Amino acid sequence: MRQRGVAWWRRQRLALTALAVAAIATLGVHVWLDALPQVQAQAQDITQVTDDESVEIAGQTLSLRSARWGEFDAPEGMRTVSVRLNASGGDEATWCREFTLAEAHGGRVWLDARSVLDVPYDAGEASCRDESFSYEILAVFLIPEDAAGPFHFDIPGELGDVTRFTVEE
């Protein structure tokens, strides 16, 4: 009887090895996509900026110029929020990571949607640039009509620092 059990394990060793590898890979993907972003989000140093202030981030000075609602055509049930910034540029200017817009009193977060909307190319840069001259940035978000402000407009910097502007209708 004992040899039957040993024989079964030997016949199934390839399948069992594949199952173990799949389980380890699944655990790794979970940690990479779910656990690490949560830990990094908690480790961020968020600087809240009022509308009339400027902030130093990515080696340049950024200031919120305006937030416009419905500036671009949106699919039914959605609307757009266009956030415009002035950027000073400069010799130390670097790229920013991706801007986000989040409900201040909710869990929903949106990424820049310029690529799926009809936003003119010359309307402004999509992000911070490593330019020496001043320029304008235009971030456009596509949000559901039921999303109610205020919203947090976050600009991630280089070392986990985040600059947050409050955007209201």
Question: Residue 44 has what pLDDT?
Answer: 56
pLDDT of res. 78: 94
Q: Are residues 19 and 56 in the same domain?
A: no
**Which pLDDT score is estimated for 101?**
93
Kindly list the distances between the CA atom of residue 119 and the CA atoms of 37, 78, 126, 153, in Å, as whole numbers in the listed order. Answer: 30, 16, 10, 19
Q: And the tokens for 108?
A: 């929903």
Cβ–Cβ under 8 Å, residues 162 and 156:
yes
Check whether residue 24 and residue 57 sit in a common domain: no
The Cα–Cα gap between 89 and 129 comes to: 7
Number of domains present in the structure of the chain? 2
On whether both 29 and 57 belong to a single domain, the answer is no
Same structural domain, 29 and 56: no
CATH code: domain of residue 141: 2.60.40.1240
- Residue 28 and residue 66 in one domain: no
- Reported pTM: 0.69
Summarize pLDDT for 91-113 with one digit per residue, the tens.
887 778 888 999 988 788 999 99
List, for residues 8-22, the tens digit of each pLDDT value.
888 888 888 988 899
Three-state SS sequence of the chain? CHHHHHHHHHHCHHHHHHHHHHHHHHHHHHHHHHHHHHHHHHHCEEEEECCCCEEEECCEEEEEEEEEECCCCCCCCEEEEEEEEEECCCCCCCCCCCCEEEECCCCCEEEECHHHCCCCHHHCECCCCCCCCCEEEEEEEEEECCCCCCEEEEEECCCCEEEEEEECC
Q: Which two tokens stand for residue 91?
A: 């010799």
Both 38 and 101 in one domain: the answer is no
108 and 29 in one domain?
Answer: no
> What pLDDT band is residue 141 in, cutting at 50, 70 and 90?
very high
User: What average pLDDT score do residues 142-168 get?
Assistant: 85
Same domain for 70 and 145, yes or no, is yes
The token pair at 52 is 């009339």
Does residue 43 have a pLDDT over 70? no
Does one domain contain both 77 and 101? Answer: yes
Least confident of 1-5, 64-68, 145-149: 1-5
Going by pLDDT thresholds of 50, 70 and 90, the confidence category of residue 134 is confident
Residues 16 and 63 in one domain: no
The range of the structural domain enclosing residue 25 comes to 2-43
* Whole-number average pLDDT of the chain: 83
Kindly state whether residues 82 and 136 are assigned to the same domain.
yes
Q: Are 79 and 161 part of one and the same domain?
A: yes
